[in-house]
Amino acid sequence: MAPKSNHLLLKAARGEEVDKVPVWVMRQAGRYLPEFREERSKSDFFTICQTPELACKITLQPVERFPLDAAIIFSDILVIPQALGMEVIMQPGEGPVFPNPLKISDVAKLSEASVVPDVLSYVFDAIRLTVDKLSGRIPLIGFAGAPWTLMAYMVEGKGSKTFSAAKSWLYKHPVLSHQLLERLTESTILYLVGQVQAGAQILQVFESNAEYLTPDLFRTFALPYLQKICDTVKQKLKDMELPVVPMIVFPKGGHFALSALSKTNYDVIGVDWTIEPSVARSLVGPNKTLQGNLDPCALYGDKASIEEAVRRMLEGFGRSRYIANLGHGIYPDVNPDSVATFVDAVHRFSSQPATIS
């Protein structure tokens, strides 16, 4: 099925005029859906990722429930460290855990980036299957974790409130850190190109651990790699005569990074809930699409309060160059009805010309 280039989400990403604001939800196929929990009770998390039919099925679950403007392939950012040879398990209640976090002496033992497309061919298969099932109805988003975000998990071994172990590498072992980040960058480039080859129509790079960095560390250890990923992926797609898809970067907690990211070739910049729409817009200027930034906890409110929050958000961002989303992945205890309210409110309010300019 040939992808359509006039999808609402793709138009918004490219800054074209839209008649309503597109919307999707980070982690939209996840634990808040009973049909996901049902599937998850039968299979291990990474088994689902590695089984194209299951990954496809779960990718489509939210799309069948809500009139979302994109699907996002069900996978995990930590498949890259896995492909490079590290073990990752999903610990109930804790999230992903590396039983053997990366040690200094391990960096040289990681696999070459060139293995990634082979090892992760199951993701490409899942994408092919999903694009086929979507039949061009809405676009499919491919994604990857950004190098610093992956490094933070690999070194720390699990989630953390400070990521101080991983950050200590940046201060103590800057050369080795750059080597590791370079390996992750090469891997991510191959991985993202493979996703587009398989049919992904837009790509998001998750810099979920931006918030632990200082502006200086971001400039040194994150920005150059984010830039390289965007530039090289787009160049490779061009060289391969594949569609040069729009790219989204989401620096969670990276308010200090927005201005610098506006000077890169990313088409869309995601923002979390801690920033006013007007501040985000003034930091990135008029030439980027913004994505976000409803507080995931706003979905705990009643219908009227969700609608009010959406209305304020739309007023803040305007209708052009904007993709509605949460400011972070949806939380597992949210009522699916609240997602329906959110998606409907975005579409309804933004298609009323009087409300949103």
Residues marked active site are found at: 27, 31, 40, 76, 153
Helices (H), the chain: 8-14, 34-42, 45-50, 52-65, 79-83, 116-119, 121-134, 147-156, 164-172, 174-198, 215-221, 223-239, 258-261, 277-284, 303-317, 336-350
C-beta of 151: minimal distance to a second copy in Å? 14
Give 248's strand partners.
204, 268
113 vs 258, which CB is nearer to a second copy? 258
C-beta of 58: minimal distance to a second copy in Å? 23
Instruction: Select from 220, 305, 320, 351 the one that contacts a second copy (CB under 8 A).
Output: 305
127 vs 299, which CB is nearer to a second copy? 299
Handedness of CA 9, 328, 33, 158 (dihedral sign): positive
Instruction: Select from 5, 91, 121, 164 the one that contacts a second copy (CB under 8 A).
Output: 164
C-beta of 214: minimal distance to a second copy in Å? 5
3 vs 215, which CB is nearer to a second copy? 215
118 vs 302, which CB is nearer to a second copy? 302
Q: Show contacts with a second copy in window 200-229 (CB under 8 A).
A: 211, 213-217
Strands 289-294 and 95-97: unpaired
What is the C-alpha to C-alpha distance for residues 119 and 112, in angstroms, rounded to an integer?
11
5 counts as binding a second copy under rule CB under 8 A: no
Which pair of structure tokens corresponds to residue 137? 């109805």
Which residues lie below 8 Å from residue 171, measured CB to CB, with a gap of 6+? none
197 counts as binding a second copy under rule CB under 8 A: no
What is the C-alpha to C-alpha distance for residues 236 and 186, in angstroms, rounded to an integer?
12
Q: Show contacts with a second copy in window 262-281 (CB under 8 A).
A: 273-276, 279
137 counts as binding a second copy under rule CB under 8 A: no
What is the C-alpha to C-alpha distance for residues 350 and 357, in angstroms, rounded to an integer?
8
Chain-centroid distance, C-alpha 168: 26
14 vs 178, which CB is nearer to a second copy? 178
Positions touching a second copy (CB under 8 A) are: 159, 161-162, 164, 167-168, 170-172, 211, 213-217, 253, 255-256, 273-276, 279, 295-298, 300-302, 305, 312, 328, 331, 333
